[in-house]
Amino acid sequence: MLNDITIDEYYNSHQDIPIIDVRSPGEFQKGHIPHAVNVPLFSDDERATVGTCYVQESREKAIELAYTYVNPKLNYFLEAGREVSGTGPVAVHCWRGGMRSHAFAEHLSVNSFNDVYLIKGGYKAFRNYVLNYFEQAFHLRIIGGFTGSGKTNVLQVLQQRGEQVIDLEALAHHKGSAFGSIGEKEQPTVEHFENCLFEAFRKLDVSKAIWIEDESINIGRAKLPMVLFKQIREQKVFFLEVPIEERINYLVNEYSQFGNELLAEGIDKIAKRLGGQHVKSAHNYLSEGNYFEVARTVLQYYDKAYSRGVSERDQKNVQYISVKNTEPEANADSLLKQINSNE
């Protein structure tokens, strides 16, 4: 049975049903519903050729060409569909809920698939749903602190203790600095980062507090939705004050394992902001294997930049918490103690 369904209905009533995205691999790579499976009706080249035919010849000619690409794949589509959902239920979408998804969904439906849902408006409707989702007000508890404070590790401890947590850096595959891509997988596109961020938020109870790290709007090439970034900037931040020597030790342990070549590239990325003499010193220390002084030199830039960001906040919303080191369990205790004292 073939059923039309909105993206809102899907998330409210059918979110456990697997999704097949029939767009081309290139479209899927740019951004997709996080748990969707790509079974492309056309390859990237085929899609481009059909589009050119539509523009240069006619709609009818384009449809005729499309069938020559699709017909040899009909058995494959059924096999791929069974791998995703057995024989149903399953939801299907393309870019705007047009001919591609209709043809694919009908093919499944007439070939013994049960409860095939066609997402109206397709991926475009999903994208609007995502962007509208971030318009709501969230109750955020923001962890701040200078570079090397071990904030991500504290978030992980809080999550282990049952707190609601969004790890922006894990979703972005980037630690948010010129060195942030080191040791990480390739970053998602801006579009897909937003999709993954939505997926992370929707699994939480948004009526309750959510812990999140203080970040700039850009995390590498990923970018926070502006409405969410404004909330992060306007809500209360719990600033962990970690001694600089402890932060340096943390950074040395974190990054020295990746080798001098990647570290040198990171230094060069901030050369203009760090200043010529500091850049020269950092490279000299790096060649000597003196990672402690490399980190101390680089922190001169990052600490100043972060201090500027904190100074631009309403200071009534900044609570400073002095801690001894970067030990995440103890620092999570300090944060929760501060929360309890506020309530």
> Which of 318, 338, 138, 313 is CA-nearest to residue 237?
318
The catalytically annotated residue of 22, 90, 92, 94 is: 94
Active site residue 94: yes
Structure token digits, residue 194 = 């937003």
Structure token digits, residue 272 = 């203009």
Indicate the DSSP class of residue 316. Answer: G
DSSP track, 151-168: HHHHHHHHHHTT--EE-H
**Cα dist from 217 to 37, 168, 334, whole Å:** 30, 11, 27
Indicate the DSSP class of residue 7. Answer: H
Residue 33: CB atoms within 10 A of its CB come to: 23
**Distance, C-alpha 102 to centroid of its chain:** 30
Give the three-class secondary structure for 330: helix
Using CA atoms, how far apart are residues 15 and 44, in angstroms rounded to an integer?
29
Say if residues 228 and 311 touch (Cβ distance below 8 Å).
no
Number of residues assigned to the chain: 343
**Active centre residues (catalytic):** 94
